[in-house]
Chain A
């Protein structure tokens, strides 16, 4: 496994921001462990590229494909897209649009280092927006309503819960654990 799948440096800082990919991995390992291979695969690329590719449409009529255009109701793209958007909104970056692919492409050409998308602690309103967005994307992807609701709540829970190492640090400072 390469370094991308290990906890990144950002996570070790004390400001409680976390890489989007880490949160995705945690949610997927709880909700759909069969998709972990996909998360690992996606984690080999930078966040900009992943977001661009997840937003792109698949071709179902490729020569020598199986031809089944059926979209599987996957957890990974739903969570990744929702968290990526939330992270962009929170940090004031542009969300989606035609420019995204162009940016990825230009960065590759000029060999600029990839930016690791991180998600800061979110306000209750932002958390609610994430929940609604996950619900919306899950329903679009064909997930059953109950599963969609469960996934949305799981994502919100993961965002609210701090990782164990951070919790330990905060207890030492006498701070309140996040609920």
Chain B
């Protein structure tokens, strides 16, 4: 390292790279998870093909109304709409592949991977390739040198040293398993041990550092797992795909969709393999840099790395571009970067776009495969918890990267990263992963109908990472411990909680919006009008808006976890505000900056809490005035007392929700604009406080409803009735303090984006604001009192909402599955598809029922030919009544079965069936009651029905 450049570089480079964990372990775990999910998916696909070789599953879907020309939403909804009939068809015809199949396959693959992991060291260290150092080093000169290096490297016991005499590279490699490691010295290195002792030392120390950093086991575990996948799962999948493509040629209607689906899966597999290679190389490159730094710390000469730089310098732009692309796939960083990292550890603290992108994409692929598998085996309830677990990995990988970058920036006085870039690349990775999997695009088209909904993932990632960066800064600046790790763990747990909640929502519900709206707005509105008492004409618009919002808000709004996750977002930073400011540099910082006499930490304090609370006060005022405005407006169309708790209350609650959320959003936006430092955290605290006090205002207004004159809404007589408004507050709480906080965070991010875009214009103003901001400091005791009061209130309210209420929930609704499914999602059917649907309908139960129906009618008609049929009641009871009962049973069977595919034939058939059903019921009642005229009329109906039946059946069959 040359003198003149050493100054500024060393200032940044001196941060101990181990101030926080590198996070590579998490990335390895993600690769292992991907191996498991991909293997289980392939095993499940093959098992499905084996148990259902004739594709009865597809037949059931066709009979249910599946249209292969539809998009994925239409296909899914056609089976959803068929409901129990579809399930019954699958139960009857498709032997369910046991969940044990993929589990057993996974077990076998894991055993194979463990065996390979166990055997790899023996293979790499086989006698024909390497020789032990002790066997050839008669005088023990090399052994003594190696022993000294083992002591320098700080290893408790020496590994086995072997020589690969035929390898002429001046290198070495380490391999082994579970603390039995071997360092293999290449012939070229051994030959140079005297002529280039520094180079020899650097290489051996580097390899010993790999052992000390525990890189060997996890690396070879990944190698073993991946080789097992490539040798077993991938070929099995390719054979399956080839057979599938061959089979798809048999059908002209289903074939194209099937080929597209298989092609889609093949592309996914290819890209996934590329991602795994990229991820693995990326992780290994990080580990190499750590080993380099350890070797340097052990006294290796940096010149040994410079030799690599001279050797690998690439002239020309095109060559350089190719070299940087090729470098992405290599397990070692380019030499210039390795040499640079020795002088400056900055590289180890920088979150890399590729790392984040690949982590996001691979995690989504694994998550989608997991959820598909769980749904296939009817354990859909496990999707949410498993998605939450996986979200931990997705959030922790960029989270650790961000914390490291922030810690370094705080220690060196550099600009602290905003987290937006990290969030962006993670979000893009998540979205690309989703695009690749067939969960959203389905097997019928390459792109989903609404790819713009993927923006939700990007916003989610950007928001979470923006918060993580600011919280990390707040926490790092005030952390007093010996090590920073507990602060990181608290911060990551919070990031995980929030990300997991939203990611689990995405996996279970959010994803569907990429396909389109899965709920019929008109169906919900009609059900609301029917089910809620006191519908008020003239407010259809409000009801329609509620019907649109309900499918989104209901699952999230009723989940107390949303409220807790939102509470974490703003209470955790608030608690840091209550900490005593640091007076001297903490021990962790002194250790991290081991050879810098003056530590630049401190100075920057979090923004004044008083200022944030003042902004929250403005938000609270907006909430209160909004609530008062809503009550005044509701008063204008106040219905009679008995009709105030249906539609009127629903509309009132919706307006209150909007009013309070507006106050909270206003506080967030204002805080984001006026607070210079940590604006997102300030915005969240302001929004949370405003929402809390806003709701308190609503509670006060609601409790005194009836005494408010022009504001009276639900009450007409003046009493203090807190219990009257409390149920409404219970409904609003998770929405306002849960979803409302997230909406405020989104608005604050937007405001920050605008502020950043306008920064050049506002720079001087912001500087002035900054001076004001740090000038007035509030007292610690006051600050702590405020923080304690707010935290206590939120925790008590969240607990109250989370506890199960004693009353049974009244979930009676007239909404049927058919009404809930939007008709527009299922498109018109071509004659070819209709013919296939009809064929499936007939084969999978329709024909059976029709034959039985016809037989039962014939039985009745034959009995009617007897003279006693219309005169003898006993004859009717013994010969005709069973036929009537059978017709009723067949009619029930038809009701439980899929509707007839052809709409016109369906109408005729349903009319006929209704006639027969009614006649069957009349016949039985007439015979039981001795009602002759009813009996005769039912028999006449049977005669009519049997006359029309052949014609109607012909129309069903389309000929």
Contacts and interface: CB of A to CB of B under 8 A. Distances in A.
A67 B220 CA distance: 17
Contact of A41 (B163, B168, B210): B163
A50 B338 CA distance: 34
Interface stretch (A57-65, A156-164, A168-176): A57-65
Contacts of A62: 173, 331
A72 B191 contact: yes
Interface stretch (B134-142, B375-383, B892-900): B134-142
A17 interface: no
A142 B307 CA distance: 15
Contact of B169 (A44, A54, A71): A71
Contacts of A64: 173-175, 207, 210, 215-216, 219, 284, 287
B903 interface: no
A178 interface: no
Nearest to B329: A61
Given A32-B191, A34-B193, A65-B173, A71 B165 contact: no
B129 A53 contact: yes
A40 B135 CA distance: 9
Contacts of A44: 127, 131, 135-136
A70 B331 contact: no
Given A58-B168, A68-B308, A74-B168, A63 B192 contact: no
Contacts of A166: none
A63 B136 contact: no
Interface in B306-342: 307-308, 311, 330-332, 338
Contact of B330 (A49, A61, A66, A71): A61
A35 interface: yes
Interface string A28-41: 00001011011111
Contacts of A34: 190-195
B48 to A, nearest CB: 36
Which of A42, A56, A67, A71 counts the most B-chain CB atoms under 10 A from its CB?
A67
The 4 closest A-B CB pairs, nearest first, are A72-B188, A67-B332, A41-B165, A53-B166
B190 A38 contact: yes
B223 A37 contact: no
Interface in B162-200: 163, 165-175, 186-195
Contact of A67 (B138, B175, B194, B288): B288
B2 to A, nearest CB: 23
A50 B166 contact: yes
A155 B194 CA distance: 24
B168 A40 contact: no
B128 interface: yes
B701 to A, nearest CB: 67
B675 interface: no
Interface residues of A, number: 36
Given A64-B173, A64-B207, A70-B170, 13 more contacts: A34-B191, A35-B190, A35-B191, A38-B191, A42-B165, A44-B136, A60-B169, A64-B215, A65-B332, A66-B202, A68-B308, A69-B311, A72-B191
24 contacts: A34-B194, A35-B191, A37-B165, A40-B136, A40-B138, A42-B165, A42-B166, A44-B127, A44-B135, A49-B128, A62-B173, A64-B219, A64-B284, A65-B172, A65-B174, A65-B332, A66-B206, A69-B171, A70-B170, A71-B188, A72-B168, A72-B169, A74-B187, A74-B191
B331 A67 contact: yes
A166 B206 CA distance: 49
A63 B163 contact: no
Contacts of A65: 171-174, 331-332
Given A53-B129, A70-B188, A63 B166 contact: no
Contacts, number: 134
Contacts of A37: 136-137, 142, 163, 165, 190
A35 B137 CA distance: 11
B566 interface: no
B363 interface: no
A147 B331 CA distance: 35
Contacts of A38: 163, 165, 187, 190-191
A41 to B, nearest CB: 3
Nearest to B175: A64
Contacts of A41: 131, 135-136, 163, 165, 187
A134 B264 CA distance: 56
A54 B166 contact: yes
Interface string B653-694: 000000000000000000000000000000000000000000
Range class of the B interface residue count: 35 or more
Which of B168, B216, B288 counts the most A-chain CB atoms under 10 A from its CB?
B168
A98 interface: no
Contacts of B138: 1, 40
Contacts of B136: 37, 40-41, 44
A58 B284 contact: no
A61 B169 CA distance: 11
A118 interface: no
Interface in B631-646: none
Which of B131, B170, B187, B193 counts the most A-chain CB atoms under 10 A from its CB?
B187
A8 interface: no
Nearest to B141: A37
A19 interface: no
B203 interface: yes
A75 to B, nearest CB: 8
A56 B174 contact: no
Contacts of A49: 128
Contacts of B219: 63-64
A41 B185 CA distance: 12
B526 to A, nearest CB: 63
Nearest to B132: A41
Interface string A53-95: 1101010111111111111101011000000000000000000
Interface string B282-322: 00100110000000000000000001100100000000000
A45 interface: yes
A141 interface: yes
Interface in B879-899: none
A39 B131 CA distance: 11
A69 B169 contact: yes
A50 B168 CA distance: 13
A62 B183 CA distance: 13
A68 B338 CA distance: 11
Contacts of B331: 61-63, 65, 67
Contact of A77 (B163, B166, B210, B311): B166
Nearest to A39: B165
B207 A56 contact: no
Contacts of B170: 68, 70-72
Given A58-B169, A71-B168, A72-B168, A66 B191 contact: no
B284 A63 contact: yes
Which of A61, A62, A76 counts the most B-chain CB atoms under 10 A from its CB?
A62
A66 B171 contact: yes
Contacts of A77: 166, 168, 187
Given A1-B138, A49-B128, A70 B223 contact: no
A172 to B, nearest CB: 34
Nearest to B215: A64
A156 B210 CA distance: 45
Given A41-B131, A44-B131, A62-B173, A67 B308 contact: yes
A49 B127 CA distance: 11
Which of A58, A63, A72 counts the most B-chain CB atoms under 10 A from its CB?
A63
Interface in B331-364: 331-332, 338
A139 B187 CA distance: 19
A48 to B, nearest CB: 11
Contacts of A69: 169, 171, 311
A25 B163 CA distance: 17
A45 B191 CA distance: 19
A118 B167 CA distance: 24
Contacts of B171: 58, 60, 65-70
A142 to B, nearest CB: 10
